[in-house]
Amino acid sequence: MEFFHPARLLLLLSILSPLSLLSSDGGHKCTPLSSCWPSSTLWSAFNRSIDGRLLAPKPYAWPCHTPQYDPAACSAARQLQNNPFARSDVVGAMQTPTWESGIAGLGCPLNGSGALSTPCYQDQVSAYAINVSSVSHVQAGVLFARKFNLRLSCPGCDPLPAVTAQPGVTWKSLYDFLDRRGRVAVGPMASSLSAAGGFVQGGGHGPLSRTFGYAVDNTLELKVVTADGRVRVANQCQNPELFWALKGGGGGTFGVVVSTTYRTFPELKLGYLHTLFIAASSSPSSHRDLVAKFVEVTPSMDEARLAGYFYIYTSLVIISFVLPNGTVAEAQAAFAPLVSYVDKNPELLVINNTVTSHDTFVQWQDGVLCAVNPVLCTDATGTSGLFATRFMPKKIFQESPAVLTDTLMRVLFERNFSPIFGLFVFGGAASSVQGRNNALSAVWREALWHVLIVRTWNESTSVEERYQFSRSLTSANGLFRSITPGGGCYKNEGDYFEPYWEESFFGEKYSTLKAIKESVDPTGLFLCWKCVGSESLVQGGAS
């Protein structure tokens, strides 16, 4: 078994969000404004007990405001505001500023020049955090939070080739580490994510899911500090119920994960073939024809083992797919029906249809990400807003393709959501239930697409406008819900205001997950929005 030890491990253990939030028993958690809040003497003593590693997080834009204005730090913050790696190095920052302020929060503006005299509000940024360098620091933080009723939030038995990652490790680092050893693991396309955090606890899909299964299908062991302060090893032999729940039951719910062990696979002998297909339409009717054809050929692309991502605009379709361990002829054959259809339609135009070969997964991923974002070669973050998603099951492509096409058109043209972002990383090996002992609901195994729509805003957008945007988002996603009754979505990419969140996020597994939650965290120490056991928080309407 291979172990990956990062040069720098930073696990941010949030001690409290200064919002007044209901606990699971109906009581309130202590806030900085509460009489039960620990005194400065107690905080100082706690800090000494954890080797002086207590931090006081501030919002990302904090150095740009008076009286703490720092010209160099502010300039760097503005320059790097869309860089996910830079944001992850700031203790109080979130990749999406909405999660720092909440929709109704006053926020901490960044835009402008020089020092800003406007207030910088703490909002949902935690009052304290721990710069963790050992599991004992996590244990101490959990016990301290438990003692003073603070809200805590969290950013195998088989001898298989594996790698163990700690929370400070990004997927980019892990991919590169494995690449040097001729191996791969199932992770996300967004390489700035933590390799041991909420990605895998939420299920974990990526470009290799259709080849090897989801991340949770390939998780062999997790080490977690639970609400009682104990370090528990969870695998199929030790704490198997907790192991089951951690694989798909959601992050920030069952404890603080301090390491995750994944199965690894040999690098694919035939490499990776990237197909980029871009087609344009000249009218709404011809665009419907183009989208309808894409929907029609998706099952054959599924059989051809393609995977990847796509964008559907109002007059453009961009498909960026990969064929792992295949040939150029196979990739071209998979796209041939779509290419031929566009070529024969005078109102449609092929703008790009290329196939490029890459020897390794990292080479392919870097090539795709650098083409999209040459400066960072990863996903850009730092934009405020919300998104909503829905799984599109295989049967809708087989039984009701016109219904799916019509719904896509309505979302595009009637509801003005463009582009619709699509993820074709489901099906294939990920559809198999054999040996899949985890908390993912059945809809994960039945899906082919995951569609995502977004509403963004800027710092000048009023609170009322933000709520209008969020309502329009939930309403538009309702069109997708209406054609997928009993369906669901990926919680990590779900609608903040998802109306049927227990079913959509957890499906038939929710009651079992809740029982395990109550067993390992009976006082509801770990609490997050629309997570297992968060009914009182959701009913309280925190935002």
- Answer whether residue 201 shows pLDDT above 90: yes
pLDDT tens digits along 398-420: 999 999 999 999 999 999 999 99
As a whole number of angstroms, the distance between CA 492 and CA 453 comes to: 14
Torsion of CA 511, 514, 520, 525, to 10 degrees: 180
The pLDDT assigned to 302 comes to 96
CA distance 264 to 267: 9
pLDDT tens digits, 478-516: 999 999 999 999 999 999 999 999 999 999 999 999 999
- Average pLDDT over the chain reads 89
| C-alpha–C-alpha distance, residues 64 and 88, integer Å | 18
Q: Which two tokens stand for residue 115?
A: 């020092």
Among the residue ranges 10-14, 346-350, 385-389, the one predicted with the least confidence is 10-14
Enclosing H/E stretch for 290: helix 284-303
DSSP string, 355-407: EEEESSHHHHHHHHHHHH-TTTSS-----EEEEEEEEEEHHHHHH-HHHHHHH
Residue 532: predicted pLDDT = 97
Considering all CA atoms of the chain, what is the largest pairwise distance in Å, rounded to the nearest integer? 77
Beta strands in 96-191 (DSSP E): 129-132, 162-165, 183-184
Q: Place 339 in a pLDDT band, splitting at 50, 70 and 90.
A: very high
Taking only the tens place, the pLDDT of each residue in 19-48 is 333 333 334 677 776 788 899 899 999 999
- H/E stretch holding 320 reads strand 316-324
How does pLDDT run across 461-473, given as a tens digit for each residue? Answer: 999 999 999 999 9
H-helix or E-strand spanning residue 335: helix 328-344
Model confidence at 11: pLDDT above 60: no
Backbone angles phi, psi at 142, to 5 degrees: -60, -45
- Average the pLDDT over 526-534 and give the result: 94
Query: Mean of the pLDDT values across residues 360-375?
Result: 93
Class of domain 272-520: alpha beta
User: How is domain 162-266 classified at the CATH fold level?
Assistant: 3.30.465
pLDDT > 70 fraction of the chain, expressed in percent and rounded: 92
Spell out the residues 6+ positions from residue 51 whose beta carbon is closer than 8 angstroms to its own: 133, 137
Sorting pLDDT into bands at 50, 70 and 90, what band is 100? confident
Q: How far apart are CA 479 and CA 223, in angstroms?
A: 40
**Can 162-266 and 272-520 be said to share one CATH topology?**
no
Supply the pTM of this predicted model: 0.84
Structure token pair of residue 275: 């197909």
Residue 26 is predicted with a pLDDT of 36
Q: Assess whether the previous peptide bond of 63 is cis (omega < 30° from 0).
A: no
Each domain of the chain, given as residue ranges in start order, spans: 41-148, 162-266, 272-520
Residues 6+ apart with CB under 8 A from 238: 232
Tokens representing residue 360 in the block: 């390794």
Short-list 264, 392, 367, 368, CA closest to 308:
368
Q: What is the mean pLDDT of residues 216-220?
A: 96
* pLDDT > 70? residue 2: no
Residue 107 burial (10 A CB sphere; 0-12, 13-18, 19+) = buried
At residue 324, does pLDDT exceed 70? yes
Is 392 in contact with 448 (CB distance < 8 Å)? yes
- How far is Cα 437 from Cα 243, in angstroms, rounded to an integer? 9
pLDDT given for residue 279 in this prediction: 98
Range in 209-213, 521-525, 538-542 with the lowest mean pLDDT: 538-542
pLDDT at 541: 66
Structure-block tokens of residue 375: 């400066």
488: its two tokens: 């669901």
Cα gap 64→62, rounded to integer Å: 5
